[in-house]
Structures are given as C-alpha cells and as structure tokens.
Amino acid sequence: MHLLQEELRKQESSLCVACQTSKKSIALVPCGHVCLCPACADQIALTTKKCPLCTRKIESQLKVYL
C-alpha cells in the first residue's frame, strides 16, 4: 500500500498547478518552473504572461518530457 500512495503522490505533484488535471509539461523561460500543462500555458501566454508560481514574466515556453 505504501508504494501505491507514493505513486499517487508523485502523479499528483506532476499535475498542472492551474487546472490540476493535465500533466505539466511546459517549462517557463526564464524562471525555469515546470508547473503548467500546454493548454494552461497557452492560456497564460494570452492573458497574464506570468508564471503562477513566482509571477515572473514569461519570455517563452519550452516543451519538456517528464
């Protein structure tokens, strides 16, 4: 059971901080935070253009594979 809980926690922490449903797979430049899924990264690029974790301005986005 311990292993399963471990696994669930890992999956939880790999979820997008904005929608909490998709896996995060976008790295924000220059802050380097990986906290968004592609859909939410697109949304933020159109709206606030700020990282939801540190609120630094997003210059660009990089697709990453975790």
How would you list the strands of the sheet with 26-29, edge to edge? Answer: 34-36, 26-29, 60-63
- Among the listed residues 26, 44, 51, 58, the single contact to Zn ion using CB under 5 A: 51
Distance CA 8, CA 57 (A): 32
Judged by CB under 5 A, which of 26, 27, 37, 58 binds Zn ion?
A: 37
Asked if residue 54 binds Zn ion (CB under 5 A), the reply is: yes
Q: Does 40 bind Zn ion (CB under 5 A)?
A: yes
> What's the CA gap between 17 and 23, in Å, rounded?
9
- Residue from 8, 53, 62, 64 touching Zn ion (CB under 5 A): that is 53
Binding positions for Zn ion, rule: CB under 5 A: 16, 18-19, 22, 31, 33, 37, 40, 51, 53-54
